[in-house]
Structure formats: structure tokens, C-alpha cells
Amino acid sequence: MALFNGSHPEEFILLGFADLPWLELPLFIILLITYPTAMMGNIAIILVSKLDPRLHSPMYFFLTNLSFLDICYTTSIVPQMLFNLGSSKKTISYVGCAVQLYLFSTMGATECLLLAVMSFDRYVAICRPLHYTLIMSQHLCILLVSTVWLCGITYALSEVTFTLQLPLCGISKLDHLLCEIPVLIKIACGEKAANELALSVACTFIIAVPLCLILASYASIGRAIFQIKSSEGRKKAFGTCSSHIVIVLLFYCPAISMYLQPPSSISRDQPKFMALFYGVVTPTLNPFIYTLRNKDVKGALGNLIRSIFCFK
């Protein structure tokens, strides 16, 4: 009950794009299309990874977890966005805001760490191919994924709880599409230097450190690829990494611009576009990026579709 201090409002008004009302209907239509698309794409990845024996490997185990994570990620924010964009009442209760903060922060932090684990998997596959099955055992894969989820939950519990302690002095308007930590810190009326410092330190470990590990992994992978003599071998090795590189860029670039700077310096519309990008666009594109650039996934997906129609 310490989260519900006397200075918080009963509900927040999510202003969204109130200054650009003409944008609300197109955005509503886009979300109405992208959300089911993201759901179907990620569910398809999970199904083919589980049903096709050829995809029972560490790489697709991590990809399945990424797809499940993206389903939870978009579901934590998009239904609320659709409700607010489609109605005149653009509010969210304080409890609903707190729940959204915990879920959104958990999924975001977990995805940052999971992408780093996936880059380690690619490093072992290309730089240590003879020892791949020995190093990336089922036990290690489960341990890595469990650790990633535990760290994401720990980050959310600590950072969100600390943020919710800030006094809001009755401020009930959020110039955003959803509840997000930097936005709440920005509108707080009390002393918030400690919260900004805590957020910077936490995001350094959640965003900056994993990104450095990803870059180090791909530096080693790049050297290993250039040492491969055959052009076909180099092409195949690069193909297994290119999809992951694209996803890392799509997810990390907006996250860095949003979280690795003081909330007080964030511009007005920046949180809205960044949240749409890493909360909606990236989870929607992930399954298509992996499907379009991966022959194994395309083959397994084609087999699944043919088996469904043959069964009918």
C-alpha cells in the first residue's frame, strides 16, 4: 500500500496526440491492423518452432521465447491504446497505470537481455561450431532464459516501485499514449534526482551492457566470417546473423534515445513515437524478419499451412 500515497490521482488522462486530433483515426486503424498481425506472426513462430523437429535447436528455443515476449509486450499496451483512441474518454486508472508500468518494464528489460543471449548463441554457433552442441546444452539454454526473465522482473519491481513513490501533487495528465517510467518521473513535483540517477544506472545494466556484449559478439563473428574461405559459407554464416542484427537495431536505437538520457531532457512528442516503435512496430516486424530471411522457418511455416489445409 506504500505505492498508493496521498498525492496520486485516482486516474490519469492520457493526452496522446491531443494537439494532433487528425492523427488519432489513422493511428487507431494502424494499431487495429498491426496488433492482430503481431499476434498471428509471433504465434506462428512459436507453433512452427515447437512442431517442426528441424527447429528443435537453441536458436529457435530463444526465438520462441522472443515471440512469446513480444506477444506479452504488445498486449500490455496496445489494447489500452485502442480503447483510448477509439473513445472520447482517454483515461487509465492509477492501479491500471501501475500494472501497465510493471508489465511493460518487465517485457522491455527482458527483451534487451534476451537479445544479448541470442547474440551469444550466434557467437558460439559461428566461432565455436565444433563445441556448439556441448556449450549450448538444454540445461544452459533454460538457465539463460530463466536468468533473463528474473533480471527483467527484478528491474521492473525495483524501478517501477521506486518511481511510484514520487509525489505527483494531484497531477493527473500524462502527455503520452501509455504509462512509462520516464514520463512519470518528468511530471513528478518532488525531488526526483535520485529517481533519475537510479533509472540511468539501471538502464546502463539493462541496455548499455547487453548492447556492448552484442557488439563484442558480432565483432568476433565478423572476424570469423571473413576467415571462411568459401563465399557460400560466408553467405550462410551472415544469413544466420543478419535477422538478429536488424532486430537489435530496431529495438535498441529507440530504447537508447528514450532511457539513456535524463527524463527532464526528453522532448514532448519523443516518448509517444519511441513507445510506438519499440512497443508496436518492432514486435510486429520480428516474426516477418526471421521468416523472410530464414529458409528453415519459411519451410516449416509452409509445411504447417499445407498440413492445415490438407486436414480441412
Instruction: Decide which of 148 and 230 is more confident.
Output: 148
pLDDT at 308: 64
Distance in angstroms (rounded) separating the CA atoms of residues 223 and 234: 11
Distance in angstroms (rounded) separating the CA atoms of residues 138 and 48: 19
257 falls within a domain: yes
Inter-residue long-range contacts of 171-176, CB under 8 Å, 24+ positions, other chains counted: 171/9, 172/9, 172/11, 172/12, 172/13, 173/12, 173/13, 173/15, 174/12, 174/13, 174/14, 174/15, 175/15, 175/268, 175/271, 176/14, 176/15, 176/16, 176/271, 176/272, 176/275
2 falls within a domain: no
12 pairs with which residues across the strands?
92
Chain mean pLDDT for the chain: 84
Q: Residue 216: is its pLDDT beyond 60?
A: yes
74 falls within a domain: yes
Taking CA atoms, 70 is separated from 74, 77, 104, in Å, by: 6, 11, 11
Per-residue pLDDT reduced to its tens digit, 164-215: 888 887 778 888 888 889 888 888 887 788 888 888 899 889 999 999 999 9
Average pLDDT for residues 244-265, to the nearest whole number?
82
Q: Which residues constitute the domain of residue 194?
A: 11-311
228 falls in which pLDDT band (50, 70, 90)? confident
Per-residue pLDDT reduced to its tens digit, 24-45: 888 899 999 999 999 998 998 8
Write b or e for each residue in 77-115: b if 16 or more Cβ atoms lie within 10 A of its Cβ, otherwise e: bbebbeebbeeeebbbebeebbebbbbbbbbbbbbbbbb
pLDDT at 1: 40
Number of domains in the chain: 1
Average pLDDT for residues 236-256, to the nearest whole number?
82
3 falls within a domain: no
4 falls within a domain: no
204 falls within a domain: yes
Asked if 159 contacts 181 with a C-beta cutoff of 8 angstroms, the reply is yes
Average pLDDT for residues 149-169, to the nearest whole number?
91
Distance in angstroms (rounded) separating the CA atoms of residues 205 and 200: 9
HSE of 5, CA atoms in CB hemisphere, 13 A: 14
Asked if 165 contacts 185 with a C-beta cutoff of 8 angstroms, the reply is no
Question: What CATH number is associated with residue 293?
Answer: 1.20.1070.10
1 falls within a domain: no
Distance in angstroms (rounded) separating the CA atoms of residues 28 and 33: 9
6 falls within a domain: no
